[in-house]
Structure 1
Amino acid sequence: MSDAIDEVQIRRLFMLLHGMYGNSVLDKYRIGQVDDDGEDVGMKSARSVWLNGLREFPQPIVMKALAKCTEKHKTFPPTLPEFRDICKSLMPRQWTAGTEAPRLEMSEALRSEQVQRARRAIAETRLQREGGIRTSEGIKGLHVLIAKAVGHAGGDEAATLLRLDAMPMRARA
């Protein structure tokens, strides 16, 4: 079953427009001539024109556009072009990648810099996840790590650092 608006829905749309705007809808389209069915020829023609003008929009979009009329057209009913503009604004946007868009290439230096930055970020994340501690390099950094470990174990960090500093260089290696 098609989701496009049909004759029954156009009649309902006009009925709702009449309910919202009163006789200004009728005054806008009726011409005073009635056909064999007793219906105003102008209103019948208007519904036919609106039906053709709104066929491209699914019925839910048309109903949403009708609800939007209370914001955009507070005192007078919209014309068909105004109503179509509201419908267009409510349609989901279709995006397709254009083949003519240029592809930007990255220089080898920039690529290398990006790789290094990513590796550092991965290493930092891994260090944090595993509960590691970052310190300065060398013996001083090692002393800080040992003092922290001793402190966490409930020992005396200061005494441990003094003992480490007092050790000869060969005994440390």
Structure 2
Amino acid sequence: MSKAIDEVQVKQIFMLLHGMYGNSVLDKYRIGQVDEKTGEDVGMATARSVWLNGLREFDSGMVMKAIGKCAEKHKTFPPTLPEFRDLCKLFQPTKWIQQPSAPRLEMSEALRSEQAERTRQSIAQIRLRREGGVSVKPGEEGIPTLHVLIAKAVGLAGGDEIRTLMQLDERREKA
């Protein structure tokens, strides 16, 4: 999960909003009083501080997605902090809270064991495919399976699988 936003990211949000909406962002927050130390409008600095506190509960990923949604939801004017928070909430994961009155479904031990075995088999199949193996059903072992494994190996090594298999078939027929 991304970390909570910081002052630098809030400045970036204001720059993005300024890029999207022009001076209407500045007009919304500046008061015309300049801080002598920073040379910045006091209203803009205060607005950024308020936005930082108002957006602390959201991670930077949610905030950036909300910026993207601004163009769709707020076409003419920049959003206020409450409107921007609503956009952020669209991307917040839904928290599930179990209701005490909700019925609880129980699973039998046999069904639980069957499900666990299916899960183990699925995991084994995924590992086998990831490692380049071939699943073989009982009774299907032998030359055809060996050919498939050789073709995979040759293909992974950057060779010509078809030519290699044809050469193997020719050698097998001669033997």
TM bucket normalised to smaller? 0.5 to 0.7
Partner of 2:52: 51
Identical-residue share of aligned pairs (%): 74
Unpaired segments ≥5 residues, structure 2:
106-175
Partner of 2:101: 100
Matched residues in 1 for 2:62 and 2:104: separation? 37
Partner of 2:21: 21
1:38-117 matches, cutoff 5 A: 38-102=39-103
Alpha-carbon offset, residue 103 of structure 1: 5.2
Larger CA Rg, structure 1 vs 2: 1
Secondary structure in structure 2 of the residue aligned to 1:69: helix
Alpha-carbon offset, residue 90 of structure 1: 1.2
| Number of matched pairs | 105
Partner of 2:32: 32
Matched residues in 2 for 1:47 and 1:57: separation? 15
Matched residues in 1 for 2:61 and 2:55: separation? 12
Secondary structure in structure 2 of the residue aligned to 1:97: coil
Cα deviation digits, residues 34-92 of structure 1 (max 9, x gap): 00211000000000000000000000100000000010001100000000001011111
Q: 2:2, 2:61 within 8 Å by CA — same for their partners in 1?
A: no
Matched residues in 2 for 1:9 and 1:64: separation? 13
TM norm structure 2? 0.57
Q: 2:2, 2:60 within 8 Å by CA — same for their partners in 1?
A: no
